[in-house]
Amino acid sequence: MAKSPLAGLSLLLLDDEVLLRKRLAGFLEKEGAEVTAVANVAAARQALESMAFDAALIDVNLPDGRGTDLLRDKLFPPTTTVVVMTAEGGVAGAVEALRAGAADYLVKPFDPEELPVRLTQARRSRQAKRADEFRRDQENELVFGESLAGVREQLAKITAADRRLTGHLPPVLIEGETGTGKTAVARWIHRHGPRADEPLIELNCSALPDALAEAELFGHERGAFTDAKAARIGLMEAADGGSLFLDELPSLALGLQAKLLTAIEDHQLRRVGASRTIPVDARIIAATNADLNGLVAEGKFRADLLHRLDLFRVRLPPLRERGRDIITLATELLARVSRRYGQKPPAIPAEGQARLLAHRWPGNVRELAHEIERALVFGGPAGLTFAHLGGGPGTTGGAGWLRPGFVIPLNGFSMEAAIDELVELAVKQADGNVSAAARLLGVSRDVVRYRLKQTREPGSVGE
């Protein structure tokens, strides 16, 4: 017979209903847990002063107070997994408990057979969250360098303004190609702002199926759809008091974009299947790798949502535009990876540095991190030379675009035609996006539009 996941678990059970308390205690003890059962908040406080518990199962409304007071007063150590029990109409109390640090909640009446699964899931979730927080602190701190000096100044001004506000914090819009570090910036804003001790909820919008996106974002009531057997809060409600990071925002359907706009404007939301609204104060940090103005023109993104989000805009340059900072970043990434593998970080020789500077980095910082780790693990006796990237000493130009040995023809050369060819190449690489092509070339959008108008039919140039 398989060992119960609750075997040996020390658990505090707080509930004033005598029959329910005895029933739950009996079941938990049968599963191998060591249960301390109490009937009121005062007794729970006394128990917490003298004992450390692996988990706690607490009711919200009690004769001498609220079970959530124990969370609010931080009487549970970080190692204790707290699951809240609440009556059918007391979901608001459960939400309060989740904001205060509870890992999960159960709506009464419930089957005690749920407890092993729910407690185990809650403990694993809490452990994973703590491990992830540690990993983020160790590995995801931003490396600004000289090329991001303007971004660092921008972020400092945003967080300084946040600390002066007493109410809702304005949204932040982060733009940048895939892999430039938008998630790291969102975490930086949250960690360095006035809500650092509150939750940061992260959601990759592209990973949400359209059919589930609304319920995931806004929550749902019991019976709202076929599988909705219990009420559930959404991610925006879970982020109340903290921040909600919406990565790849344009992936949300237009209808859901409208509901998100309403929630941001009114600071309240309505769960799926609910008739009443719930106040919510979640700081929205949105990120996109697409040109939102172009998507608005194509009817794929709501203009009103863009205007609402586009207050504090932060643009992250691609890695290829960061110059010598690529070496600074590579050195920091190498130190982090080496720590993880228990090695002393090797130096990057001049040949390796030259190749890092010459590479175009279509995957940006994410690609660089993978190249660093791969080179550390599989590097040969020559060290971190990154020979497979090409380029290196003798390559013409920092970007490595000119073929070595090229000689201007004696019969002449059209520089204008070469420029037009480069512009066409950039536009093709940017999938027809003029703004992105201009960034690739390091020129204004007007320069690209002018060049394209000289070589294409009128009206064929997009944004």
Residue 151 clears pLDDT 90, i.e. is over it: yes
Helices 445-455/434-441 angle, 10° precision: 110
Assess if residue 408 is contained within a domain. Answer: no
Lowest mean pLDDT among 45-49, 95-99, 131-135, 396-400: 396-400
Q: How far is CA 423 from the centre of its chain?
A: 35
Mark whether 167 and 123 lie in a shared domain.
no
Assess if residue 460 is contained within a domain. Answer: no
**Distance between CA 345 and CA 234 in Å, rounded?**
43
**What mean pLDDT is predicted for residues 247-271?**
93
Mark whether 91 and 181 lie in a shared domain.
no
**What mean pLDDT is predicted for residues 292-303?**
95
Structural domain that includes position 373: 319-389
Assess if residue 101 is contained within a domain. Answer: yes
Mark whether 311 and 297 lie in a shared domain.
yes
Residue 13 clears pLDDT 90, i.e. is over it: yes
pLDDT for the residue 397: 41
Assess if residue 448 is contained within a domain. Answer: yes
Residue 133 clears pLDDT 60, i.e. is over it: no
Mark whether 123 and 51 lie in a shared domain.
yes
pLDDT for the residue 161: 95
pLDDT for the residue 455: 76
pLDDT for the residue 350: 86
Assess if residue 396 is contained within a domain. Answer: no
pLDDT for the residue 10: 86
Is residue 287 very low, low, confident or very high in pLDDT (cuts 50, 70, 90)?
Answer: very high
**What CATH number should be reported for the domain holding residue 42?**
3.40.50.2300
pLDDT for the residue 393: 46
Assess if residue 360 is contained within a domain. Answer: yes
DSSP strand pairing (10-14 vs 55-59):
parallel
Mark whether 239 and 360 lie in a shared domain.
no
Q: Which two tokens stand for residue 66?
A: 């609220």
The SS3 call for residue 7 is: coil
pLDDT in tens, 367-411: 999 999 998 888 766 678 888 786 544 443 444 456 555 567 667
Mark whether 224 and 298 lie in a shared domain.
yes
For 160-165, the CB contacts below 8 A with 24+ separation are 162/193, 162/194, 162/195, 163/193, 163/194, 165/194
Mark whether 306 and 188 lie in a shared domain.
yes
Last residue of a domain, one of 315, 333, 352: 315
Assess if residue 405 is contained within a domain. Answer: no
Residue 40 clears pLDDT 90, i.e. is over it: yes
**What mean pLDDT is predicted for residues 183-190?**
94
Q: Which two tokens stand for residue 329?
A: 């970043």
Residue 266 clears pLDDT 90, i.e. is over it: yes
Residue 186 clears pLDDT 70, i.e. is over it: yes
pLDDT: which is higher, 135 or 168: 168
The SS3 call for residue 309 is: helix
Mark whether 75 and 119 lie in a shared domain.
yes
Last residue of a domain, one of 259, 285, 315: 315
Query: What is this structure's pTM?
Result: 0.61
Last residue of a domain, one of 293, 315, 337: 315
Mark whether 126 and 155 lie in a shared domain.
no
Mark whether 224 and 210 lie in a shared domain.
yes
Query: 82: number of CA atoms within 13 Å, CB side?
Result: 28
DSSP strand pairing (268-269 vs 278-279):
antiparallel
pLDDT in tens, 335-346: 988 988 888 889
**What CATH number should be reported for the domain holding residue 382?**
1.10.8.60
pLDDT for the residue 126: 65
Mark whether 298 and 189 lie in a shared domain.
yes
**What mean pLDDT is predicted for residues 213-217?**
89
Give the number of domains in the chain.
Answer: 4
Mark whether 31 and 113 lie in a shared domain.
yes
Mean pLDDT of the chain: 84
HEC string of 373-432? HHHHHHCCCCCCCCHHHCCCCCCECCCCCECCCCCCCCCCCCHHHHHHHHHHHHHHHCCC
| Structure letter (DSSP) for residue 176 | -
Assess if residue 298 is contained within a domain. Answer: yes
**What mean pLDDT is predicted for residues 241-249?**
94
pLDDT for the residue 261: 95
Q: How far is CA 361 from CA 179, 253, 291, 358, in A?
A: 10, 31, 20, 9
pLDDT in tens, 415-445: 888 888 888 888 887 878 888 888 888 888 8
